[in-house]
């Protein structure tokens, strides 16, 4: 016998089982008397299950997650959802409108969780997100991109010492899972402290829609929802092999100020001491090498040619087994790059 689910209560609304609705959560009062809202779309399945939140644009200029969530919400598959999905495509509305990472008080929202109702503007928004969204959820996925002219290989950052988080991270199917440290003030740390498994997805660059990270992210959420039993199991097993599990990562930095000429690409496997790039000057009179600090895979890369000495240029995730890593990267490139070209062709872009 099925137990009838209760309606889902949020922002003073009751969403009956089997229905979906957009609600507006008051995020702040502006100085022009206007109220600012955070739009939240809830899909409340007919049958009992976990409650997963998806959050985009915590950093207002990191917009790939906005598109990932938009694509997910269009999927007919959600009609058979068990449990509840809470989608918040734009958490930092201020930053999204102003095309910036920050809030008007010049703070970074992802350093102010869990926040406080009595805190700064940023602290208040963090607190509203914790109470209205995180506290109602059993799991979460937070979407980010590289910042400051840096692009990221699609990757999951998660505290994989927790078995539930590790399983979720592996199920997502991004080519790399990085066991990144929990940073104080981050949403990931605040969720961890509340024992809510949270994945952070990184992919692409700020202020862009990057096709491959968007596709990996969209497919990743579906895979996680299947893993949690919220969607039916896939008929076909994914072609993607196991992700590369990296325990740590290091940024290689510019060895001089000048023009940065990369010699590696995102997703490339590199050896320790391999040349990652050169720094020259506008007259071409000097040339400095940037050397890889470790063997690993390039998970982040500066996209701008202008560097000062010490600027982070290539982010290398350390890997122990190069053969396993090569297989994972090959399978990722085969699946997503070919698929992406097919899609562009179908959409008439080629």
- On the 0-12 / 13-18 / 19+ scale of CB atoms within 10 A, 140 is buried
Stretch that binds Zn ion, among 62-70, 181-189, 310-318, 332-340 (CB under 5 A): 62-70
Of the candidate residues 144, 150, 157, 188, the single one contacting Zn ion (CB under 5 A) = 144
Q: Which stretch in 5-13, 66-74, 115-123, 141-149 sits in contact with Zn ion by CB under 5 A? A: 141-149
Contact call for residue 132 and Zn ion (CB under 5 A): no
Q: 326 by DSSP, 3-state: which?
A: helix
- Cβ(298)–Cβ(268) below 8 Å: yes
Q: How far is the CB of 144 from Zn ion (least distance, A)?
A: 3
Q: For Zn ion, which is the closer residue by CB, 64 or 314?
A: 64
| Paired tokens of 242 | 């196991």
If one asks whether residue 59 binds Zn ion (CB under 5 A), the answer comes out as yes
Half-sphere exposure of 239 (CA within 13 A, CB side): 11
E strands, 147-233, are: 150-157, 176-178, 198-205
In angstroms, the first-to-last Cα distance of the chain is 53
Residue 111 or 309 with smaller CB distance to Zn ion: 111
If you search the block for the tokens 């699946």, which residue do you land on?
335
Q: What residues contact 328, with CB distance under 8 A and at least 6 apart?
A: 175, 176, 241, 242, 243, 244
Which tokens in the block code for residue 224? 């996680």
Omega before 82 within 30 of 0, i.e. cis: no
Q: Which is nearer to Zn ion, 62 or 67 (CB)?
A: 62
For residues 148 and 343, which CB has a smaller minimum distance to Zn ion in the complex?
148
Give the total of residues touching Zn ion (CB under 5 A). Answer: 3
Residue with tokens 């560097």: 307
Stretch that binds Zn ion, among 39-47, 55-63, 115-123, 230-238 (CB under 5 A): 55-63
Closest contact distance (angstroms) between CB of 150 and Zn ion is 11
- How near is the Cβ of 68 to Zn ion at its closest, in Å? 14
Tokens coding 295: 């063997």
The residue (of 41 and 59) whose beta carbon lies closer to Zn ion is 59
In whole angstroms, how close is the CB of 250 to Zn ion at the nearest point? 19
Shortest Å distance, C-beta 64 to Zn ion: 10
Cα–Cα distances in angstroms (integers) from residue 28 to residues 12, 95, 106, 124, 281, in the given order: 17, 13, 15, 8, 47
In this chain, which of 62, 210, 311, 335 binds Zn ion, going by CB under 5 A? 62
Least separation in angstroms between residue 59's CB and Zn ion is 4
Q: Report in angstroms how near the CB of residue 323 gets to Zn ion at its nearest.
A: 32
Which region, judged by CB under 5 A, interacts with Zn ion, from 72-80, 140-148, 213-221, 269-277? 140-148
Question: Which positions lie near Zn ion, rule CB under 5 A?
Answer: 59, 62, 144
């Amino acid at each position: 016998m099925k137990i009838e689910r209760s309606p889902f209560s949020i922002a003073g609304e009751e969403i009956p089982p089997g229905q979906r609705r957009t609600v507006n959560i008051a995020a702040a009062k502006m100085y022009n008397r206007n109220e600012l809202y955070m739009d939240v779309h809830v899909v409340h399945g007919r049958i009992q299950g976990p409650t997963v939140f998806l959050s985009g644009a915590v950093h207002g200029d990191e917009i790939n997650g906005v598109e990932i969530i938009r694509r997910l919400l269009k999927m007919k598959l959600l009609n058979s959802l068990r449990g509840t999905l809470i989608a918040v495509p734009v958490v930092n509305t201020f930053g999204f409108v102003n095309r910036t990472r920050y809030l008007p008080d010049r703070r970074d929202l992802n350093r102010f969780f869990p926040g406080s109702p009595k805190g700064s503007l940023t602290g208040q928004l963090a607190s509203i997100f914790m109470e209205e969204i995180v506290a109602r959820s059993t799991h979460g996925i937070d979407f980010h991109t590289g910042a400051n002219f840096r692009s990221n290989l699609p990757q999951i950052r998660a505290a994989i010492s927790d078995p539930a988080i590790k399983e979720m991270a592996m199920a997502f199917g991004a080519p790399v899972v990085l066991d990144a440290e929990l940073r104080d003030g981050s949403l990931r740390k605040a969720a961890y402290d509340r024992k809510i498994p949270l994945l952070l997805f990184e992919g692409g660059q700020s202020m862009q829609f990057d096709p491959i990270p968007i596709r990996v992210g969209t497919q990743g959420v579906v895979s996680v929802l299947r893993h949690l039993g919220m969607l039916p199991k896939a008929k076909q097993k994914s072609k993607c092999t196991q992700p590369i599990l990296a325990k740590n990562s290091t940024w290689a930095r510019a060895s001089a100020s000048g023009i940065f000429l990369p010699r590696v690409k995102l997703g490339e496997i590199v050896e320790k001491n391999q040349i990652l790039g050169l720094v020259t000057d506008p007259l071409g009179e000097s040339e400095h090498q940037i050397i890889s600090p470790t063997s690993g895979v390039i998970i982040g890369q500066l996209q701008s040619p202008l560097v000062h000495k010490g600027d982070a240029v290539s982010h290398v995730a350390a890997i122990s087994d190069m053969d396993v890593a090569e297989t994972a990267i090959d399978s990722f490139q085969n699946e997503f790059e070919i698929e992406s070209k097919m899609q562009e062709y179908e959409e008439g872009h080629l």
